[in-house]
Structure 1
Amino acid sequence: MRTRFSHLPVPVLTPVALAVLAWPVALLAQTPEAAAAPASDDATYRVVVTGAGTGSGQPLTVVTDPRQARQPIPAQDGADILKTIPGFSVIRKGGTDGDPVLRGMAGSRLNVLLDGEQILGGCGGRMDPPTAYVFPDAYDRLTVLKGPQTVIHGPGNVAGTVLFERDRGDRPTRPELTGNASATVGAFGRRDILGDLQYATPDFYLRGTGNYTTSGNYKNGDGNTVHSAYERWSGRMALGLTPDDNTLYELHYARSDGEAAYADRMMDGSRFDRESIGLRFEKRNISPRLRKLEANVYRNYIDHVMDNYSMRALKPGAKPALSNPDRDTVGGRVAATLQLTPATRLVTGLDAQSNQHTLRTGTDYQSRPRIDNAEYRQLGVFGEVRHEWDDTQRLIGGLRVDHWKADDERSTPGLATAGASRSETLPSGFVRWERDIDQGQGTVYAGLGHVQRFPDFWETVGGNRFSETGNSAFHTRPEKTTQLDVGASWKGERLSASVSAFYNRINDYILIRSTPAPAQVRNIDASSHGLEAALSYALAPQWTLDASLAHVRGKNRTDGTALAQQPPLEGKLGLNWNNGTWSAGALWRLAARQDRVDIGKGNIAGQDIGPTPGFATLSLNGSYRLHKRVRVIAGVDNVFDKTYAEHLSRAGAGIPGYVQTSRVHEPGRTWWLKTTVALD
């Protein structure tokens, strides 16, 4: 692997190593009295997340702290952390930058926002989905809203909405310095470091966040090396003005870059240069009727380079090849929260975005002009209301309308849609009933949602795929999804549990066919249904049992076949012990055989390869609290060193020096160690 970022500071991990050496000594030296001592105040804090949790207590909503260590090895990008939540899978292509899948839906069917901003990758082959630009430890909160059950976070949330967010914190009464840091080391050269520091006064705050992560090629359970190395860094600065308790102005600037080797294709990503700037305004408690006014504008620019020579050896007879796409996205949102009556609250506003995609190729690309190939513009208006019917029941509903316009700016000779434009006005909406039961300990709900999704860049222009009637997919019809969601959640002193089920019908589902050539995009009718269930049970004051189950089944109603790229039935069982100072845990993950496939068909991120056998893996972890603010956590994943591949995996490519496999294999036995420090 190249070391283009070798000039960046690498953490000195001597304290971590000392902690590892001290751990078994301290454990052996612990007296019986100390072992039996009551747990400290934070004994219930889940040091390592092995179970899935049961959500936030709100229907179809999962809220979690992305900084908590998780198994498998602590996440290094957004897809890594999402796969720990029931219902999520990841289309794997190597060590990083997998494409997240929720309830069998991938790509633009899953709306991903970073601090309220939409970031769209530059690669036509999905090297960089939005989650590729996320380092989870740099965020304070991760929220997942499942299903088409909200309209206030942008268009197209067929599967759901994912929000990676940073808290602004309360306005302090006097100057204060807060922050946190973490460092991770692991097998196969894994190294992470993060620092997050904020200085705040009653009048302003300044927050800086930086991280660096790298890994070498990992090995599968058979000891074969997988082309999977990566290296990336990112930094963000935010200046906030807080003239009073109810007012905020924030300006932020972020920059990141990286490189990644892929086991599934003939090129690697040698640059993922991202630049972001944004301005945010919030005003609360303006009047008894107008509770909040918020606005933000942003620009995200992605400059991406992929090539076949900088991170791998050229195949005999092959020539160096390079592609340099970029994408410039400008967007904004304005929303007002209105208290219409004591029981009724309305959030209404508008959002918009415009993104331009260009491309240039050749190893001398820097001297060549960029060529526009597509532009997309969207303007949406929305309103979402919450009405408290009585003390135990509520209705939530919303409507939005989005106007889209797209231009095919390709100039390929003979291309049927070169220079063409199209526009659509698409409605979406939902209504949900919720009822609290058992004196507020539980909630039951039922919701019906409808969303119309405009075809994205990858489905219309990226990949230069054909349609059923010509050599361009630019005029692919929008998807129209209608979905029913039902479920229940309950939280008691010892048991927390949740279950959610869904059924949908999708007209004009956009199906990608990769083989036989030429690749094709077509609209079909489809349906899918599934469920997620999770529970957490306190077996004893220091022992907790976690379990989860996720299942989805899709059907291509047009062809009478299975809907491609659907994950298998998956279950997790976790057992955790925590006395506040020490903790230990085990996670058993089981995936069933998946033989409902439609080979060569799928979505913009991957296509079915064939059936996959089931598998099971075991992971173990333990931690020691060195200090009130310092904890050392260690773990071993894939304890039995199994050789396996996820069903939602890309096919392995023939790369010189590596064993080609039908699917990209997962890492073999992997050890890791993470240290966290709270500075507040």
Structure 2
Amino acid sequence: MLRNRLLGSVAMATGLLMAMPIHAQQNDGVTLRPIIVTPVGPAATTAPQVDGLETPLSATTLQRTDTKPEAAASSDTASVLGNIPGVNVYSAGGVSGLPVIDGFADDRLNILIDGASISSACANHMNPPLSYIAPLNIGKVEVLSGVTPVSKGGDSIGGTIIVDRQAPQFAATKGTVLTTGEVSAFYRSVNNGFATAGNATVATDKFSVNYQGDFSRGENYRAGNGEKIRSTLYETQNHAATLAYRHDGQLLSLTTAIQHIPYQGYANQRMDMVGNDAVSLNLKYKGEFAWGTMDSRIYWQQTRHEMEFLADKQPAQMPMDTKGTDLGYSVKFDIPLTRADTVRVGNELHSQLLDDWWPAIAGSTMMGPNDYWNIRDGRRDRIGTFGEWERKWSSSWTTLVGVRNDTVWSNTGDVQPYNPVPSMMNPNANAATAFNAKDHARRDVNFDATALVRYTPSLGSSYELGYSRKTRSPNLYERYAWGTGGMSSSMTGWFGDGNGYVGNLDLKPEVANNISFTAAWSDPAGKKWELKVKPYYSYVADFIDVNRYGTFTDKNGGTFPILQFANHNARLYGVDASGRVKVLERARWGEFALLGQFAYVNGKNLDTGDNLYHIMPVNGRIGLEQKLGDWTSLVETQMVGAKSNVQSLRLEQTTPAYTLVNWRASYTWKNLRFDLGVENIFDKNYALPLGGFDYTYYKATSTRRPVPGPGRNVYAGLTVKF
């Protein structure tokens, strides 16, 4: 009933706006040259920033050409973002890294794939949103760190990551037919990996049909000392087809996509993925009218996910099944009221349905006789509405203010343990009874606000100050994972630490107060040097951290804590910086430029005094780039400090400092593109600061250590356009 009313309201509002006799307004004639700051690394070019605060100065936009070099080296889309200052990746499966922005990770970020909100349908978050699109099929990526406008972020307290597929292509003139496409293939030595992708378009001036597909496979990768790191193998494939129609400023498109992952190992988890199959539909409409523009979509995705143990973790058996559904819509109106004023309003609905059960094993006294229900009839519905006003006061001053409301309803049905008979060895029987006796329904009414001001005194300088109040409600596992036993609790957790996690029905939403300041400078022409610096501070009330609930001892004799999600107050602060300076330009040798970036973040639980978990140590890069015609190359040094600020409650491990040297190059000749590179040239043996606990090594040796990073990786790729 609620959804029907909302859909009716949106349709009515759309009709009224389309009928309004508002004339399109022109800008005030002031043109400000945006400052472009280039991140160091394979994603080495950013698109120019739009002249508006909807895309803040701290944001980074990557076009398809920017992501191609990184796509040659990795099949993990999250890794494409790892060269942006302040952006890191929690190590997970080969195609399922969890992104981090300025210390905020995973569900604390607003991640949109073609405008759709996709939830992790897994107790270990093995199928995060970015795993549903391959790097080779990215059309555009927008990463917003610092303060995010309410029009681009709800139900999140960190930044926003927006990934779009390639936009539909059409023939330039009536009566002609456009046929275009490309095929790529890549090899990576570190894991004997292979990847291929292709896309093809057939279009007239009004209709377009596109296909995108990719396949990638990798074995267990090799560390710098030659050791094979177990449970890092994977195989995945994705296919998508888009039908689009355009006419007089209107664009309508329908994309259907499927994913099949038969296996994906996780070195830092007790489980592995043995199946992930998803199908999705995404209907999008964009229209230009006299009063402004409209951008809307309706989407649906269903995922069937299975976990078990791959060969590296056997002998063992414990099937875990998940079925998740995401569905929703979004509609946004961009209305220029005057030459100086623009208003944006929008409404969104996102519903997540989740069933998580563990089938009984015949003859097992521990995992039977009944199926174990971790989440049963789980549901999380969110309705968000926002309004935003942007005003250009003069050629130097622009402001943006916005407010947003997100109401979140969550609920589950009754749960069930393997065995309903209580005993010392079966604490889950009583835990299930206690959970079922409680009311599971929760409603959160969340309010966000954003204020940004930008000052551009000259062509070579720009300054931006922002404040935001942002709110995130707990996910279904944080609230409803009820098992208190050692085995059951250790099956929930996306932190890669081997510990057990228990949900908390009484969790409150996280509320973050974020302040950031961004300064960007360049030479007046913007061709010789650029520098961008962004310090930031966040105070988070009711940050969802953990409390000690108990301990358990596993089959290897190791003792691990059982942790319950709990609200605490926390703060994070840090600084990101990036820059570029041209050092030489000669007709014979081309253009040489020095690139650099730096990032530091500090996170603390203010209630306990402990450090926040998985905070990236200080890190930076410096590189020398050469461009000569169709040839581009980059040699860079990546430096990461020692990780000593760890969370004691989770038994987080320290990691030593390390330095890696990387090289990459690309060359385009006619319809061919060649990519070649070497990561970790000197085959350095090091530990991943965000890699977590190497469970597979512990299982084999009963010794704890962090997950080692990949050794030398020589990769090569070829792309053919037609």
Task: For residues 229-261 of structure 1, give each alpha carbon's deviation from its aligned partner in whole angstroms, at most 9, with x where no partner exists.
Answer: 10000000010111x231111111000111201
Q: Quick one: structure 1 residues 471 and 185, their matched pair in 2 at CA, closer, same or farther if it must change by over 3 Å?
A: closer
In structure 2, the partner of 1:18 is none
Contact 1:356–1:372 (CA under 8 A) maintained in structure 2: no
Q: Alignment partner for residue 498 of structure 1, among 532, 547, 570?
A: 532
The match for 2:574 is 530
5 Å-filtered alignment, 1:180-329, equals: 180-187=182-189, 188-227=191-230, 228-242=232-246, 244-258=247-261, 259-284=263-288, 286-287=289-290, 290-308=291-309, 310-312=310-312, 314-315=314-315, 318=316, 320-329=317-326
Counterpart-to-counterpart distance in 2, 1:141 and 1:460 = 34
- 8 A Cα contact 1:324 1:360, kept in partner: yes
Please point out which of 473, 480, 490 is paired with 1:454. 473
Q: Secondary structure at the match of 1:639?
A: coil
In structure 1, list runs of 5 or more residues that go unmatched.
1-43, 602-607
Task: Give the letter aligned to residue 179 of structure 2.
Answer: L
Residue pair 1:207, 1:238 contacting (<8 A) in 2 also? yes
What is the CA-CA distance between 1:143 and the residue it aligns to?
Answer: 0.5
Structure 1 position 613 matched with structure 2 position 656: yes
Tell me the distance in 2 between the aligned counterparts of 1:648 and 1:378.
Answer: 31
User: Does 2:659 match 1:597?
Assistant: no
1:544 aligns with 2:627: no
Contact 1:191 / 1:214 at 8 angstroms: preserved in 2?
A: yes
Equivalent residues of 1:62, 1:145 under 8 A apart: yes
SS at match of 2:268: coil
Distance across 2 between alignment mates of 1:168 and 1:220: 41
**Match 2:713 to one of 664, 670, 673:** 670
Give the secondary structure class of the aligned counterpart of 2:695: coil
Checking the alignment, whether the CA contact within 8 Å between 1:375 and 1:409 is kept in structure 2 is no
Distance 1:213 1:471 in 2: 35
Q: Is the 8 A contact 1:255 1:273 kept in 2?
A: yes
- Which letter maps to 1:338? I
Structure 2: which 5+ runs fail to align?
1-35, 50-55, 363-369, 417-431, 490-500, 552-560, 586-590
CA RMSD of aligned residues (A): 2.7
User: What is the alpha-carbon distance in structure 2 between the residues aligned to residue 201 and residue 55 of structure 1?
Assistant: 28
TM-score (norm 1): 0.85
> Any idea what SS the aligned residue of 1:132 has?
helix
In 1, the alpha carbon distance for the partners of 2:177 and 2:521 equals: 41
Comparing 629-638 and 91-100, the one that deviates more: 91-100
Partner of 1:647: 689
In structure 2, the CA distance between the partners of 1:641 and 1:524, relative to structure 1 (3 Å rule), is: same
Question: Structure 2 CA distance, aligned partners of 1:151 and 1:565?
Answer: 27
The 8 Å contact of residues 51 and 572 in structure 1, kept in 2 or not, is answered as no
* Partner-residue secondary structure (3-state), 1:341: coil
User: Retained in 1: the 8 A contact 2:312–2:696?
Assistant: no
Deviations 1:386-428 (CA, angstroms, capped at 9, x unpaired): 1111112100121110111110324243233655201011000
Q: Give the residue type in structure 1 aligned to 2:706.
A: R
Please state how far the C-alpha of 1:165 moved relative to its aligned partner: 0.9
Which structure has more RCO (C-alpha within 8 Å, separation ≥ 6)?
1
Q: CA shift at 1:513, angstroms?
A: 5.1
Which of 455, 458, 463 aligns to 1:435? It is 455
Give, as a single letter, the amino acid of the residue that structure 2 aligns with 1:168: P
Tell me the alpha carbon deviations over residues 432-482 of structure 1, each in whole angstroms, 9 at most, x when there is no partner. Answer: 0001132x332111011101111112321247479xxx9750220111111
Amino acid at match of 2:621: K
Deviation at 1:311, TM superposition (A): 4.1
Kindly provide the amino acid, as one letter, of the partner of residue 60 in structure 1: S
Q: For 1:186 and 1:226, locate their aligned partners in 2 and report how far apart those are by CA, in whole Å.
A: 16
In structure 2, the partner of 1:605 is: none
Instruction: Name the counterpart of 2:400.
Output: 396
Contact 1:112 1:161 in 2 (8 A): yes
Name the structure 2 match of 1:21: none
Contact 1:92–1:98 (CA<8 Å) still a contact in 2? Answer: yes
- Closer, same or farther: CA 141–463 of 1 in aligned 2, 3 Å: farther
Match of 1:8 in 2: none
Contact 1:278 1:297 in 2 (8 A): yes
**Which residue pairs with 2:667 in the alignment?**
624
Q: Give 1:111-126 correspondences, 5 Å limit.
A: 111-126=110-125
> What's the CA shift for 1:675?
1.6
**Is the CA contact 2:100–2:106 (under 8 Å) kept in the aligned structure 1?**
yes
Secondary structure of the residue that 1:126 maps to in structure 2? coil
Deviations along 1:542-573, one digit per CA (max 9) or x if unpaired, are 21111000111112111123222211001001
Moved more, 335-344 or 649-658: 649-658
Q: Which amino acid aligns with 1:261?
A: G
8 Å Cα contact 2:40-2:622 kept in structure 1: no
Distance 1:202 1:94 in 2: 42
Change (3 A) 1:107 1:183: same
Matched residues, number: 616
Give distance in 1, aligned partners of 2:502 and 2:361.
Answer: 29
**Secondary structure of the structure 1 residue equivalent to 2:719:** strand
Aligned residue identity for 2:292: R
How far off its partner does 1:359 sit? 2.1
TM score, norm. by length of structure 2:
0.81
More helix by share: 2
Contact 1:251 1:280 in 2 (8 A): yes
Closer, same or farther: CA 357–47 of 1 in aligned 2, 3 Å: closer
What residue is the counterpart of 2:91 in the other structure?
92
State the Cα distance separating 1:305 from its structure 2 match.
0.5
